[in-house]
Structure 1
């Protein structure tokens, strides 16, 4: 189903009309917003054909998954963004895909989002009796996409601090697995943010950037700074998690080394004792010490001296 909102300049009001009633020629003051969230593939193609969208733009716009990008043709611009739809960073099911085709009068939006609250934020608001320019809607959507990351990144800072305290006091394999899961999610969203940051970074340094045809320089800089800050925050949190993982691995490795050191010392002490016991346990007739009435005690004394001497040697070397 195609949801079409049409601003009629003569009545100065918004109307929801069917796609068939859309005028062939739009007046200069008319505004059109086509919401294709619930449209079928056939209806999407019908809309794209109606506005003569270039095949390359139409193909990218229709895809369910596409990396963030900006592409411009003479009449329409294509902007693809990705928001974060999951409640936190413990899982990454899918992004909120925001596909926008816009001109000075027309906005065609296709938003695929599993979160009802985020979907509401990604829906432009139309005030009764007010004629908003299309770039205001696009600006609202860009800010909503950046906000979908910012809110969760700010909340994650407290989670990370608590996790760091727990790891320093009583680290566990369960917390280690949680940190690895967080790192995986942050790495994925970091890629999305890098794409989106580069879109606006390129616009800042290109004098003829297509974004500057619709947005002012301060607006584009604001978009870039928001996504650059988000990208830096994910880098920072990822590095902090990596430090915690490495710290836990180092602590675990140190604990294992301490246990192995104790086992090694015990083995080193008992090796000569085992040798003496094995030597006099051999079944040979001619072993001189077998006929010595005090041979048993001499053997025990030798074992005791070797064992205690080994302990003193380890203590002298500060090995324990």
Structure 2
């Protein structure tokens, strides 16, 4: 069951009090059932196509102009308990000049933080400021997530210098998958904000185009950081595979040298182990030591020969 909350702004960073004229109304809810569609279409008077976008299961960041309003869909980091941050939550905004309707499938820290600010009287003064606060808050938390990814890559590079570990391959793979998922949403979100900054309508007169362009530029930088992190992850993965391959080759090389030395020694011991007449030193008390001397001599000779051939 969704919980709709209507917040009327007083124009100075808080909620309206008794007998105050609101500067705008913010209606927010985390939708969960069919009652939300009925409320949007019948009570809120939202167009059917807009309602579809506000309640869609999966959305892509974009901005869409309508005759009586603007639809803006963004993505924010998932910081809910038991969730992965890269499973970004969709925040859908419908702005018609007098109301801002925001919907999301799960709670967002950015939204909850702005609600607390309004309760304390330190929040956005207008709906335009509220939209900017939402955009900047989502970008700020995404920036923090990308910084944590870059720090983890730095740590993996340090671990790689200390020595190759097969466990690193799994962690590197997780980081690369995380980067791919985040970039999937950040790139279109950057494009959406860039387009929003170029829209010239009286409805959006309160929005600061310069701040929106700054947010678009910030998202461009985040996308570039993700690309760099992805390349660093790929480089670490290649270095790790190379080092593990070198370790395997070194071990196989050592085993080959040992096999090359002990192969003729095994032939000697096998030859002297046959149970037939005519074997030398069978009746000689020093026969065992003569055989050992032959084995040691063959082994030393092979070692010297391999050393001169620079096999090791």
What residue in structure 1 maps to residue 99 of structure 2?
106
Counterpart among 248, 272, 276 of residue 256 in structure 1: 248
Q: Specify which of 272, 282, 290 is matched with residue 264 of structure 2.
A: 272
Q: Give 1:220-259 correspondences, 5 Å limit.
A: 220-259=212-251
Per the alignment, in what secondary structure is the counterpart of residue 140 of structure 1?
helix
Match of 2:302 among 293, 307, 310: 310
Query: 26, 46, 56: which is aligned to 1:53?
Result: 46
Deviation at 1:180, TM superposition (A): 2.9
Q: 2:135 aligns with which of 133, 142, 157?
A: 142
Structure 2 residue 21 is the aligned partner of structure 1 residue 42:
no
Gapped runs of 5+ residues in structure 2?
A: none
The answer to whether the Cα contact below 8 Å between 1:124 and 1:140 also exists between their aligned partners in 2 is no
1:31 CA displacement: 2.5
Q: C-alpha displacement at 1:236, in angstroms?
A: 1.7
**What's the TM-score once normalised by structure 2's chain length?**
0.78
Contact 2:176 2:233 in 1 (8 A): yes
5+ unaligned residues in a row in structure 1: which ranges? 18-26
What are the equivalent positions in structure 2 for 1:26-175 lying under 5 Å apart? 31-37=24-30, 41-86=34-79, 91-92=84-85, 94-114=87-107, 117-121=109-113, 123=115, 126=118, 132-175=125-168
Report deviation, 1:97: 2.3
Note if contact 1:211-1:220 (Cα within 8 Å) is conserved in structure 2: no
Distance 2:311 2:18 in 1: 83
Q: Kindly state the Cα deviation for residue 245 of structure 1 after the two structures are TM-superposed.
A: 2.6
What is the root-mean-square deviation of aligned Cα atoms in Å?
4.0
Q: Distance in 1 between matches of 2:110 and 2:191?
A: 23
Contact kept in structure 2, 1:31 and 1:133, CA below 8 Å: yes
CA distance in 1, matches of 2:141, 2:161: 31
Partners of 2:4 and 2:29 within 8 A in 1: yes
Cα 1:228–1:210 shift into 2, 3 Å: farther
Query: Which has the higher relative contact order, 1 or 2, with Cα contacts under 8 A spaced 6 or more apart?
Result: 2
